[in-house]
Amino acid sequence: MSAPRFAAAGLLLASFVAVSPVQSRAENSLQAVFRDISNAASSWGKRFVYLAASGAMAPAPADFGIHFDPKIPPELRALVNSDLSFVRSIRGSGASNLHRQVFGAVNGQDYISFFAARVKKLNVGDDCRTYVTSYVSGKDRAAMQICGGYLQEAQIGRIDTIFHEARHAAPEAANGYWRHTACPTPFYAKYLEGMPACDASPVGSYGIARIMLKNIEKYCVNCTDKSRLDAALYSDDDIQRIIDKPSRRLLADDLPE
């Protein structure tokens, strides 16, 4: 398994063990994020029940060319489609150099092209531990495994996760699927010390998620303030995982604060 991403709820729990500067700085914002997640989960559940009961459930969209395993619950499938629809709607006023190299413009279709070139199938994960949202494993790198933790994550967090995982997919064979390196000890998040949840490259899974979200924070012209704030929070976590100093500097200089 290529180091599954964990829902932010897991990160929050872990933060009680080791509060990092990032988490400390972002505490108030994160509290707001989790409040919103709870509200969203609650309202989503109600909406789904209402739509199903009224027979008004909209037909599934085209699924962005991804084959959804029939075992994926309809609410999960709808949420993935909703997240990709949001991504496709993004419009930007500019883009950093690294963003242009990896994705192209800050533009929804460029993001969807990146994703669809890598992820062909979505399956129900068979190794879903607590807080795991999704993962790509060596068993089938054309497929992304999706877990129940996806429902507990904020939208920008879900997007962070699936684009991270897309970087581990089949077309990245020549890059060793951007496998992770062990996080050092000590590390800002104690629960990650020695775990394969860090990168040396600036353009591995954590790096490209950082590049995408930082550009959305800075350049998205049709995102809400909340989306851009969440993009800032998640991109701050992603850059912390780049443990090679020149690589981290490259990312920081690509789009300075």
Q: Is 95 helix (H, G, I), strand (E, B) or coil?
A: coil
CB 164 → Zn ion: shortest distance, Å?
6
Rounded to whole angstroms, what are the CA distances from 80 to 74, 109, 122, 146, 206?
10, 16, 10, 10, 20
CB 177 → Zn ion: shortest distance, Å?
9
CB 205 → Zn ion: shortest distance, Å?
4
Nearer to Zn ion (CB atom), residue 6 or residue 111: 6
Give the length of the chain: 257
Nearer to Zn ion (CB atom), residue 107 or residue 181: 181
Burial class (CB in 10 A: 0-12, 13-18, 19+), 256: exposed
CB 209 → Zn ion: shortest distance, Å?
9
CB 162 → Zn ion: shortest distance, Å?
11
In 55-107, where does DSSP find H-type helix?
74-89, 97-102
CB 47 → Zn ion: shortest distance, Å?
31
CB neighbour burial string for 136-168, b if at least 16 within 10 angstroms, e if fewer: bbeeebebbbbbbbbbbbbbbbbbbbbbbbbbb
Nearer to Zn ion (CB atom), residue 144 or residue 156: 144
Beta strand extents in 168-229 (DSSP E only):
none
Contacts (Cβ under 8 Å, ≥6 apart) of 54? none
Nearer to Zn ion (CB atom), residue 83 or residue 165: 165
Q: Which residues bind Zn ion (CB under 5 A)?
A: 2-3, 205
CB 123 → Zn ion: shortest distance, Å?
17
Long-range contacts of 65-69 (CB under 8 A, 24+ apart): 65/116, 65/120, 66/116, 66/119, 66/120, 66/121, 66/122, 67/120, 67/121, 67/122, 68/121, 68/122, 69/121, 69/122, 69/123, 69/124
Tell me how far apart the alpha carbons of residues 181 and 184 are, in angstroms, rounded to a whole number: 9
Nearer to Zn ion (CB atom), residue 36 or residue 140: 140
Nearer to Zn ion (CB atom), residue 172 or residue 236: 172
Nearer to Zn ion (CB atom), residue 2 or residue 96: 2
